[in-house]
Amino acid sequence: MSVEQFDVVDVISTKRDGGELDNQQIDWVIDAYTRGVVADEQMSALAMAIFINGMQRREIERWTQAMMSSGERMDFSSLTRPTSDKHSTGGVGDKITLPLAPLVAVYDVAVPQLSGRGLGHTGGSLDKMESIPGWRANLSNDEIMHMLDTVGAVICAAGSGLAPADRKLYALRDTTGTVDCIPLIASSIMSKKIAEGTSSLVLDVKVGSGAFMKDIDHARELARTMVDLGSDAGLSICALLTDMSTPLGRTVGNALEVREAVEVLAGGGPSDVVELTVALAREMLRQAGRGDVDPAEALADGRAMDKWREMVAGQGGDPDAALPAAQHTEVIAAEASGYITAMDALSIGVASWRLGAGRARKEDAVQAEAGIEIHAKPGEAVTKGQPLLTLHTQTPERIERAREALSGAIAIGPDRRGGADSVVLGRVDPQCTPRALGHFPQSCRIRLTAQRAGSLRLQRLPRGRADRSTPI
């Protein structure tokens, strides 16, 4: 029996007491956890110590490298076109990957969108795409390369060989209350994206109640950390800070979001989804050296739709097939007339999850049909009795708990307010990133209240809801 280089209890104690882990300790603990030498309960203790006491810049960088080194790296250098990828920190109604990948591919930029399945209140990109009859998420490396060579875009599952340490650690963090920690979020995302092998990357860092980062300052710090990690690894990289205080678009749920994405590709769809899709496409094209084109044109003239159909068909899907529809629906109506002044993204997301659109454990199935249609959003006028939401599910016994999650989620007041000027709140690139990122303490203790005139009003709150006008 071989002797281990370190004692895991000593590593835990160092971080518990506010100390720094050296490079050798980090390399060892990631490798030992991957091998099963470090037990789940021990890594849970270390993750909580990091959550409470943070990490220095050097520690984050080394932790990221160690997770990358736990597996293989992909190489797209043989492609005849540049590669560009996007990663979102996740939110409610975030279906942007679906129209974005084919849109960018129109301009001869390859998009290797290696995606995941959702945990918690929202489904992932793969959950959404799997609502298309026949579509396959699991592709071999040769199939991925073929899609990128021919179609120019692929949305598929990341192989098990990419950063296996992160896959194991993320599942643990999800069940131990240590997900929303800047060092661990940044290293998790960037270890996979650097290992993926793309030459450029655009990050969509969400801000608001439906996001990991509840306030703009912590979202900017997360973005800066990830941009710095990517830049040091040689990526062309930037990040957009985007609003997640209200749901994105007018649908939440897997098949419902695919339908909305197709509407965007057809030249329609909700204005916030169109805005963010085009904004991210411009950044991806700029990072890939194609800043001379306007991707909005490809949405308007049908080229992006053509590319979508190629991409879906290339992975076995039928782009003309009817999407699954729920057998049971229920309408929630406005109880007062006026203007919608707030719509809490997290509440909508939890309700959609309770209807069956998300999963609590990675092995749980999701309902492709489940979710929520949003008929009115902040800034819009409503009359008493008008439909606000339609709940969709295959299991009607879930509806009552979904309604409970929506209690107080929508506020109606006499004055028109609450509509955002733009979903894009800011931008972070290597030029504006501090080189010394310093120490990150526990990160998510500030709640985001309602938007007012396009600005974010921050207020320290206990767990619970922001002040609202008339609840539904």
- Both ends of the chain: CA-CA distance in Å? 64
Distance CA 229, CA 79 (A): 25
Q: Residue 307 contacts by C-beta under 8 Å, 6 or more apart in sequence?
A: 102, 103, 105, 106, 151, 152, 153
Confirm if 53 and 16 have CB atoms less than 8 A apart: yes
Confirm if 278 and 115 have CB atoms less than 8 A apart: no
Confirm if 54 and 439 have CB atoms less than 8 A apart: yes
**Bridge partner residues of 83 (DSSP):** 110
Q: Which residues of 16-27 are buried (b: 16+ CB within 10 A; e: fewer)?
A: beeeebeeebbb
Distance CA 211, CA 248 (A): 11
Angle between helices 23-35 and 57-69 (to 10 degrees): 40
| DSSP designation for 431 | G
Half-sphere exposure of 62 (CA within 13 A, CB side): 17
From the list 187, 142, 159, 181, the residue with the least C-alpha distance to 29 is 187
Q: Count the neighbouring beta carbons within 10 Å of the beta carbon of residue 446.
A: 15
Distance CA 380, CA 272 (A): 14
Confirm if 428 and 230 have CB atoms less than 8 A apart: no
The catalytic residues are 87, 166, 173, 188, 192
Query: DSSP secondary structure string, 372-427?
Result: EEE---TT-EE-TT-EEEEEEES-GGGHHHHHHHTTT-EEEESS-----S-SEEEE
Query: What strands lie across the sheet with 328-333, from one edge to the other?
Result: 251-253, 371-374, 387-393, 328-333
Confirm if 383 and 265 have CB atoms less than 8 A apart: no
